[in-house]
Amino acid sequence: MTNSSRFTHEIRRRTLLAGAGSAALMAFAGSANAQDSVSGELVVLNWLGGSELDMMHQIQNAFTAKYPKVTIREVAITGQGDMRGGIRTALIGGEVVDVLYNTWPAFRKELLDAGMLRPIDEQWKSFGWDKLISQSWKDLGAIAGKTYGLTYTFGNRSGIWYKKEHLAKAGITEPPRSWDEFVASFAKLTKAGFVAPVAIPGKYWAHAEWFETLLLRTAGVETASKLGAHEISWTDPAVKNALTKYAEMLTAGCCGAPNSMLANDWDGEADQIFQANAKNYLLIGMWMNNRAKNDYKLTEGKDYGLFQFPALGMGHDDTSSVDTKELLVTANGPNPKAADAFLDFWTSAEAANILAKNGYASPSSNTDTSLYGETQKVATSAVASSKLQFVLGDLLPGDLVDEYRVQLQKFLQDPSDANIDSVLAAIETKAQGSY
């Protein structure tokens, strides 16, 4: 039995034990609205940390101010890297929660297959979310025609963060627009005294970001989508071509020694840019905006900026990788009424504007977009004008995504053509038993 199968079996068992009364409780689903009396304990499973967690607490406090009869108990999952393992452990260990934060479409499907989730289509109607959030966002949270996830923020994962004074010091007047300009900037930045132009966080997962956008820019969203569903193999020439482009960066002196790349996660590499002034470019999600504002106390648009991934001229420069974070409600949660009200609150102007002030974009039309700073405007404009593809790693089954990331670590240590073939063959072998 695979780990995923064990998880499904255990959750089904726990769901039957802990949710014996869930059928009656689910009768409340969709009936709650802002005027209803909502009370009791709301149990929220949360794996986010740092300044993003502080922002979460701002919204949770605003919710309980509106619903003073509700108390929130937070089940905090801590760790490093991909947090799905920690969430599984908590749920298998007997935690029964009302609401989960999620960012992985594949994990949502895993939870659904385990009988853990309840749909929220009725809530879309009764709360009027269809008037605030577009159908496309609703579709992203759906499985087999039923909606389970409510997206509360989305991000451009094809944007590169940088500190403006670094480019100025290297005599670079504006961020590179083309791939050739981007690669040519490495020598200028190195000459200006920086340790490595590109920060590659290779410790857990973030080193895959470069490959995933390069796959989009070299082969398009259709190819990336097919790869995520294993409708093409990992040894397909289009996949190798993207990894070969990645190798161009490494051989051009982008990133320093492999042991340096493998030593840090994204936050450590962000520190190298924005605190140590040792590195220059970081390809990472929009949570970087919150960190820059609140942890580094930098001024958006003045001290740091974001530019869209440089153009490769291969016919797919109108593509972007995107992610979302969503709220899921459980089938066996003891307080479905409060859970539904909690989801509804995240679509409100109050919650959406807390997100905006902290550097996050909300899909809710209640958002005051004048609160967006320079980098968020760059990101939302890119998302609006691009063909979009979900982050590949978030679409892969859990056992496959681990192998994918490990093999890309091996690629960082040896970006030769022969090793690219070896790396992709190993991922393909794993993929054949993962779907």
Q: What is the predicted pLDDT for the residue at 92?
A: 87
C-alpha distance from residue 65 to each of 60, 70, 71, 210, 430 (Å): 9, 9, 10, 42, 49
Q: What is the predicted pLDDT for the residue at 182?
A: 98
* Tokens describing residue 435: 């779907």
pTM: 0.83
Q: What is the predicted pLDDT for the residue at 36?
A: 56
CA 57 centroid distance within chain: 19
The answer to whether the beta carbons of residues 307 and 162 sit under 8 Å apart is: yes
d(Cα 266, Cα 138) in Å, to the nearest integer?
29
Per-block average pLDDT, block size 10, for the chain (435 residues)?
44 39 41 66 94 94 97 92 90 94 93 96 96 92 96 96 98 98 98 98 96 98 96 98 98 95 96 98 95 94 98 98 96 97 98 94 96 95 92 91 97 98 98 95
The answer to whether the beta carbons of residues 168 and 280 sit under 8 Å apart is: no
3-state secondary structure of 342: helix
Residue 58 exposed, middle or buried by CB count within 10 Å (0-12, 13-18, 19+): middle
Angle in degrees, 0-180, between the axes of helices 349-357 and 336-346, rounded to the nearest 10: 60
3-state secondary structure of 421: helix
Please, what is the Cα angle at 295 between 289 and 301, to 5 degrees? 40
CA 9 centroid distance within chain: 27
* Tokens describing residue 230: 């294993």
d(Cα 250, Cα 198) in Å, to the nearest integer?
9
Residue whose tokens read 């949270």: 141
What type of residue is 320?
Answer: S
The answer to whether the beta carbons of residues 300 and 292 sit under 8 Å apart is: yes
What type of residue is 18?
Answer: A
* Tokens describing residue 59: 């919204």
Closest CA to 407 of 252, 242, 243: 243
The answer to whether the beta carbons of residues 248 and 180 sit under 8 Å apart is: no
Residue whose tokens read 């605003």: 62
* Tokens describing residue 366: 């209640």
Helix spans in 296-366 (H): 336-346, 349-357
The answer to whether the beta carbons of residues 182 and 176 sit under 8 Å apart is: yes
